[in-house]
Structure 1
Amino acid sequence: MTPPLVAVAHGSRDPRAAATVAALLDRVRALRPDLAVHASFLDHAPPAPGAVLDGLARGGGAGAVVLPLLLTAAYHSRTDIPGALAPVRRAHPRFALRTAATLGPHPLLTAALERRLAEAGVPAGDPGTAVVLVSAGSSDASANGTVGAIARRWRARGWHGVVAAYASAARPTPGEAVRALLDAGAPRVAVASYFLAPGHFADKVRREALAAGACAVSPVLGAAPEIADLVLHRYDEALALRAVRASAAV
């Protein structure tokens, strides 16, 4: 039997966030109707991952794939999710749990970012436009470094320039990055929102970037087709890794 997919999102008090996760998972279900897909949230919204997994185990399920709906690997993926899974492992030792990789980094995310910029009126790879790639920011320097690396690779696709910025916990801020690019001679500066769902940070970035002179701010990634494809890619990847490990143990 195909194990269900239990998606774990960050969670937000903003109801738009849960609605966006629901829309994304509906798209995943449409792509693979035979796969049971469940939503869960680390904070601010029910259900919690442990509650979903406990219900599946008590219902006679053999296991599940836990998939972090997170754009970079940082504290939530390294600490919060394992912490949420630990009681399930103790209570149901025969319930097989596989944890997939975070969504990012992956080329499909870049494609989704370009889709959202195009929706905001910014053609992909426009040589007259510099881009500020804005993430939430993290106290984990490696997570911020991952976003910086995405920006550096993305620059090669024809843009006037691409730099990373952070909504919190790191510099530059979106406003600082926009002003720096304009001061350096960029004809136009657009902001690419590296957020899965709307909420406080996405709203803050939009206000700050437009006030600093950005010509456009893209919508959040949300239920973009590329994100749904990436969710299934990470699910399949987790199953394939499990199969390889099982074969190696024989």
Structure 2
Amino acid sequence: MAELVSAVRARRPGLDVRAAFLDLSAPRVFDVLSGLHREGHREVVVAPLLLGRAYHARVDLPALLDEARARLPRLSTTVTDVLGPDRKLEEAALRRLAEVGVEPGDREVGVVLAATGSSHAPANAVVAEIAERWSSTLGWRGVRAAFASTAEPDVPSAVAALRARGARRIAVASYFLAPGLLPDRVRKLAGAAVVAAPLGTTVAEVVLDRYDQVRAAALRSA
């Protein structure tokens, strides 16, 4: 995540870019906002580094920002949309597959598009839609969505479905931002399949797209 934040900074010199975490790691969101307030900043754009609109985007982050607005009334916070869905994310995932030798058009290959999984069905549906589009357009034996937690199908089920379609080799596209517990689980469950790296710094351009959308909307409403 630090590398991703650095990549965003490198693409937009002069833009003050700070990292913050919802939980598990430091610095936390409120601490970063409080620090910006102490430094004299009065407007902040918060860009969620989230691939979909699941629980973190719909519940956790809004609650944290509501608390910050109550405790830091002179600090205006605007939130961008989440990163996905976006064709640039799909292109990034395909580049990661190419890095491990998986190119479109190989009829022996079945691809698992592995994501986190959510209790919020629309978030899972977005991943399934990407898998269906890839399956119909990229020339592989098939593509199946799979989820590391909460949702079905899991990775072994997706692999079995692709084997049943005649796939002789299996590759896993990682619809994750960074290494961690769930990508590790996917890699373990994938067995002998080749597994692409998480998206990482490849999404820096999408982060800035979301920032620019918010700033453009603010100018239009001014």
TM-score range, shorter chain: over 0.9
Paired position in structure 2 for 1:234 = 210
2:152 aligned with 1:174: no
CA RMSD, 1 decimal: 1.4
1:141-164 deviations in Å (ceiling 9; x for gaps): 111111111212222233322111
Matches of 1:47 and 1:126, distance apart in 2: 44
Q: What is the alpha-carbon distance in structure 2 between the residues aligned to residue 27 and residue 90 of structure 1?
A: 32
Q: TM-score, normalised by structure 1?
A: 0.84
Q: Which runs of 5+ in 1 are unaligned?
A: 1-20
Residue in 2 that maps onto 1:16: none
Candidates 171, 180, 183, aligned match of 2:164: 183
Amino acid across the alignment from 1:221 = L
* Among 104, 108, 127, the residue aligned to 2:88: 108
1:121 aligned partner, one-letter code: G
List aligned pairs for 1:1-250, cutoff 5 A: 21-155=1-135, 156-210=137-191, 213-214=192-193, 216-224=194-202, 227-244=203-220, 246-247=221-222
1:34-89 Cα shifts (integer Å, max 9, x gaps):
11110011111111111111111222112111011111111101110011111221
TM-score normalized by structure 2? 0.94
Structure 2 vs 1, CA of residues 125 and 28 (structure 1 numbering), >3 Å: closer, same or farther?
farther
Offset of residue 243 of structure 1: 2.4
Contact 1:98–1:242, Cα closer than 8 Å, also in 2? no
SS at match of 2:84: coil
Residues 117 and 124 in structure 1, CA contact (< 8 A), matched pair in contact too: no
How far 1:239 sits from its partner (Å)? 1.2
Moved more, 153-162 or 107-116: 153-162
Are the counterparts in 1 of residues 146 and 154 from structure 2 also a CA contact under 8 Å?
yes
1:128, CA displacement in angstroms? 3.2
Asked whether the equivalents of residues 30 and 64 of structure 2 are also in contact (C-alpha less than 8 Å), the reply is: yes
- The answer to whether the Cα contact below 8 Å between 1:175 and 1:209 also exists between their aligned partners in 2 is yes
Q: How many residues are aligned here?
A: 221
Q: 1:126 to 1:243 in 2, by over 3 A?
A: farther
Q: What percentage of aligned pairs have identical amino acids? A: 48
Deviation at 1:96, TM superposition (A): 1.8
Q: Are the aligned partners of 1:110 and 1:154 in contact in 2 as well (CA < 8 Å)?
A: no
Deviation digits for residues 158-210 of structure 1 (CA, Å, limit 9, x no counterpart): 33221111011111111110111112212322111111111111111111112
2:142–2:165 Cα contact (<8 Å) kept: no
Deviation string for 1:192-239 (max 9, x for gaps)? 1111111111111111112xx53x111111122xx0111111111111
8 Å contact from structure 2 (residues 20, 28) kept in 1? yes
Query: Which consecutive unaligned segments of at least 5 residues does structure 2 have?
Result: none
Equivalent AA in structure 2 for residue 222 of structure 1? G
